[in-house]
Structure 1
């Protein structure tokens, strides 16, 4: 498969996400005591936590098999995203940014899962005693990228739909 020269800058964005994610996780792991919050505002803090499961600690107590299962899923998704990005038209910048964010986030968390056996989470948002599950920069990138893909699915007409509509008008 020949990769377009222009797609490399989007791969670069994914690498930037990975770097920011890993640097922040390393800093938090080296600086904070596990489970002890560093209060930033009355609704936001940093707290070093380890997530052995998937999103929202799903299957975190499953006995260890989930580490490799979720790692395999993230690996497959990452390969699919790399290929998808290589095939997207250069003019579709919105989609390329979205895919790069998801790719960078997936690889950032994949690294943690394979090397550490858990994902380092540290960003905690809450209202009074109602806490959102802790997350990290990789999770944020994945969510923003996925949101962008959802928006893109509503805003860009599909080529097949346009050709069907133009064929209907000719009849």
Structure 2
């Protein structure tokens, strides 16, 4: 075989191997993707139980409870428009507290509770994760745009 044909065969084999690798890798990566949702997005779009998502917002004040084992906590995440119940079992970050920004990766169960597998808390007083900040701003703008209903 001439050197030119050898190079073409090698290039063709390399492209075929790359195509096979991409075909195998992309579906696996899609299963690992977690899309960010704020509580208002969960309420508006709905989420399938078992679907992996990233939930972010503020820990609702007065909602944090700890179980007797000390490892499981229950709380609500809000974007000041909607709120979602969350359960997490594991070591809670030191900076995790009510009224602070947080992001959790996990899945919803059949009863609508978000089962967090990882829990991240904001790391200083001035920082809020960008996704959470955008979601809270969006929810506040939507709340201001709603017409007020008179109370009887």
Shorter-chain TM-score range? under 0.3
Q: Which has the higher contact order (CA 8 A, sep 6+)?
A: 1
Alignment TM-score, normalising by the size of structure 1: 0.24
Alignment TM-score, normalising by the size of structure 2: 0.26
Q: Which has the higher strand share?
A: 2
Q: Which has the higher helix share?
A: 1
